[in-house]
Amino acid sequence: MTDRALAKEKTDRLIELTSDFCKQYLNDEYRDLCVKLIKKMGRKRDVPFMRGDLEIWAASVIFALGSINFLFDRSSTPYVTRDTLCAHFDSKKSTVSQKAGTIRDMFKMTYWDGDFSTSAIRKSDPFANLVMVNGLIVPKDMLGISDDEAEDE
């Protein structure tokens, strides 16, 4: 089996594992974000999940996405504990957390990330209403411009 074929097989398995978790505990939006992140990881020159346990990688993908989307915050919806996530994949929190950090670093994932945030998180972005004008940051509504016009600036 070629490296590309093996990577495709592992990608499919990883998508299956994360989709099962999302179906049981989360929602379709998280499933879609997991698929997007896994496929992006699969396109790397050195595919990270070619080594190691796929269950740990699956938990790490969800952990990475969850940490920037406040998944582990009781006041958010959906909400899952780190313990539930790690128990589902029979993995240690420290290992999953470390791999999730690697994933976040690899793709420069942060809070209110344009690529990997849920729609609810993107809507709550405190910086979404700000624009820089001549080096000064001001609210868009103060200038009387829409989001589309601000992007053209």
Q: Are 83 and 96 in contact (CB under 8 A)?
A: no
* 59 and 86 Cβ atoms separated by less than 8 Å: yes
**pLDDT for 150:** 47
pLDDT at 117: 86
Sign of the alpha-carbon dihedral angle for 28, 29, 34, 37: positive
Domains and CATH numbers, the chain: 3-117 (1.10.472.10), 125-153 (no CATH)
DSSP classification of residue 73: -
At residue 123, the pLDDT reads 83
Write down the residue that tokens 């939006």 correspond to: 29
Whole-number pLDDT of residue 3: 81
Which two tokens mark 11? 């990608």
pLDDT at 145: 65
Stretches in the chain below the pLDDT threshold 50: 150, 153
